[in-house]
Structure 1
Amino acid sequence: MVLGLLKTKPMSGYEIQQTLQISEADRWAGILAGSIYHALKKMEKEQLVEVEAIEQTGNRSKAIYKITENGVREFQKLLKDTLEELSVNLPSNLYTALSFIQNLPREDVLEAFYKQTTILEKELEMQKKGIQIKKEHMKIDEVTELIFENMYSQYDLQIQLLKKLINIFELENK
């Protein structure tokens, strides 16, 4: 992610953090904003990025990083490798729990389903707000639109499954 952002333009660690926060990358890409500086230092040692300039702002100085030729090659390799990876992540923990669900009281099962449904619905709403924020800051291309549509579908699919399970367990023993 950092290499991809630096491919667009040289940036400081703070600018990278801001970009990731605006796009809510911590939610959908699992990137923690606090890990950016560590990643930049590591990539600098690996000669994937380099300091292009040091800017002074008051008493503070900030390093502006740019991607190197090695970084561009590594970014392209990572990008290609990622596009070739299996991209469907099944909810295996949920499936495992469902395999042994008879070991929990019905009330506990329903409580857990309701709780997870609520969490997923909130997450979905936050994702939808995320694209609105993104649209306010930049033009959204077709690929990004498709990414968000796919994320929404993943959430909807999981919510539908949970609602069907809730229906099954609510009807049970009635």
Structure 2
Amino acid sequence: MSATRLLVLGVVRRLSQAHGYLVGAELESWEAGQWAGLRSGSIYHALRQLAKDGLLDATEVHEWPGRVDYAINDKGEAEFLRLLRTALRVPDRRPEMFDAALALLPALPKEEAVALLKERLRAMEDERARIEAVMSESPRPGHLTELFDLRAKQVAGDAAWTRGLIGRLERGAEPA
């Protein structure tokens, strides 16, 4: 799954119709280059590929030679929601996927977002238990013990943050 694909679909969806520069400007205002590794070239490539895949409708603007406006279609809407739900539900070691999902969280009803985050939390708790079980099974060299300990603490920290987000949403906070 690609954070660029999710973000570009999400921004076109938010804007209803957009050209490449507008999508890039929106993502730049989110500083997505910093946390998702986006570059303008990858945005234009994603727009063309999403249109080729039948997820975006592309319309050439005759008054502006070379400009193409994009709009999400039903197939693109379904793919966007699938990507968003998966990124929220399934812990992924690539943080840019979850970051993209958080940036697009308002696209889902709050109740659905909370349910997906609870699924994510259960998966993280299972992962932490698995890591701790592996650590206790047999002695490992110190550097591997440190690696497993780091991963267990990362998962625990992510789980704690996720619990906090779920609590904020359940208490009425709106996704920004």
Query: With structure 2 as the length reference, what TM-score do the two structures score?
Result: 0.47
Query: With structure 1 as the length reference, what TM-score do the two structures score?
Result: 0.48
Q: Which has the higher strand share?
A: 1
Could you say which structure has the larger radius of gyration?
1
